[in-house]
Structure 1
Amino acid sequence: MNKQFVVLGLGSFGASVAVTLQKLGCDVVAVDQDMELVTDIAEKVTYAMQADIENPKLLESLGSRNFDGMVVASSENLEGSILATLAAKEMGIPYILCKAHNERHAQVLRKIGADAVVFPEEEMGRKIAKNLVSANLADWIELSPDYSIVETAIPKRWIGKTLKELDVRRTYEVNVVGIREEEEGRVEITPNPEMPLKEGMILMLIGANEALEKI
């Protein structure tokens, strides 16, 4: 049986989450008070409806007890997001993710039972800034405030050397979790430590942000 989610609020963040969940094979109910936003997403999700997320009967009418998770993506409507989170918690929805307007809003959401609180604009801003500063990085994914996964071109000083020779874990305090060869379109999840590194390869590294930035 497909996982089922309800997404409340269909701004850019909420709509993106709803459509992506649907593409991943989930059943998605998308809700917003703005009929234009509902119409725009109607053919991209399982079911879309116009409703006020402050309505205490909304989740009950959707049969939300059967949902695997709920995303409250309407951060501008502080009261609505808080009431929806409370209602979802009382109904026993297993996982509740909320978008917060500010840190105070986030604190309230956590206290009333939100399993995760996100600031998508801030998180994307940090990611873009890191990519701008580290121009050689293909991608930077934060795992926590201190640890990340990055994709980066092979540093010039590493070309022709092997992972065993470089002893990356001990010397640089990061782990190589994969190598991508763009020309061949191949990804090695368990790279051969005896294989010489070539120009054009993309390394996938995991470690503390401080160690990654040094590389």
Structure 2
Amino acid sequence: MKLNQFVIIGLGRFGSSVGKELMQLGHEVLGIDSNEERVDDMSNILTHAVVADATEEDVLRSLGVRNFDCGVVAIGDDIQNSILTAILLKDLGVKQVVAKALSELHGRVLEKIGVDRVIYPERDMGIRVAHQLVSPNLLDYIELSKDYTIAELTVPKCLSGVSLQELNPRARFGCSIVAINKPQGVIIAPTATDVLSERDVMVIIGTNDQIEDFEETVIR
């Protein structure tokens, strides 16, 4: 895996969580926050952590942020500073800019100014939790786009011993099982001869309707 350099602006719960995980994955992370206490908390975790005002272009330039592969704007509660920081990162030539949005309107503004990816952590987590609450077999749910979703479903007892050829989800429902997580390891791109066992985890891709149809017809 190619190691990248990330700059994270805003070291609150979201920004610090992203930074810690990127470090765990072996990447280099520069954390920036105007709050000295937050920076102190992350100074021994991230590659570098500095106290700075990210809305000042000269400050970002002096920190060399334009040389980073990705900038993450994780500013928690100040929409104006979030937008201004994202504009500066784009103007300075950061290769990819990702920003946390506090609302749909905030997100639309970020998209208008050219942010490469807008993240809605609270909204997206709410959607995932809601789906898990109404579907006992659903372990995780990720919306890829307005049309396609990836879902993780636990294999119930009624499907134990059934091969993918017998199940035939693509022909019957239009969705595809792209991986099976078994106790002995993950099968990527399983074949028709692969057999499901109770408590395996199926990773399924399809539209919301296709996955819902699959779950209601086969699992419930």
**What's the C-alpha RMSD, in Å, of the aligned pairs?**
1.7
* Aligned twin of 1:197: 196
Q: Residues 30 and 49 of structure 1 are in contact (CA less than 8 Å); yes or no, is this contact kept in structure 2?
A: yes
* Aligned twin of 1:167: 168
Q: Residues 198 and 3 from structure 1, CA distance in 2 versus in 1: closer, same or farther, beyond 3 angstroms?
A: closer
1:70 aligns with 2:71: yes
Identity of aligned residues (%): 40
Q: Which runs of 4+ in 1 moved over 3 A?
A: none
**Alpha-carbon separation, structure 1, partners of 2:202 and 2:45:** 35
113-122 vs 137-146, which moves further: 137-146
TM-score normalised to the size of structure 1?
0.91
Shift of 1:199: 2.1
Q: Residues 41 and 194 from structure 1, CA distance in 2 versus in 1: closer, same or farther, beyond 3 angstroms?
A: same
Gaps of 5+ in 1: none
**1:122-201 equivalence runs, <5 A:** 122-182=123-183, 185-201=184-200
Q: Residues 92 and 202 from structure 1, CA distance in 2 versus in 1: closer, same or farther, beyond 3 angstroms?
A: same
**Alpha-carbon separation, structure 2, partners of 1:181 and 1:48:** 40
Shift of 1:131: 0.9
Aligned length: 213
**Alpha-carbon separation, structure 2, partners of 1:67 and 1:197:** 44
1:119 aligns with 2:120: yes
**Alpha-carbon separation, structure 1, partners of 2:4 and 2:55:** 25
**Alpha-carbon separation, structure 1, partners of 2:30 and 2:194:** 49
Listed one character per residue, the Cα deviations across residues 32-77 of structure 1 (whole Å, up to 9, x for unaligned) are 1111111111111110011122222221010112111101100422
The residue matched to 2:146 in structure 1 has which SS?
coil
Q: Residues 174 and 92 from structure 1, CA distance in 2 versus in 1: closer, same or farther, beyond 3 angstroms?
A: same
* Aligned twin of 1:13: 14
Gaps of 5+ in 2: 216-220
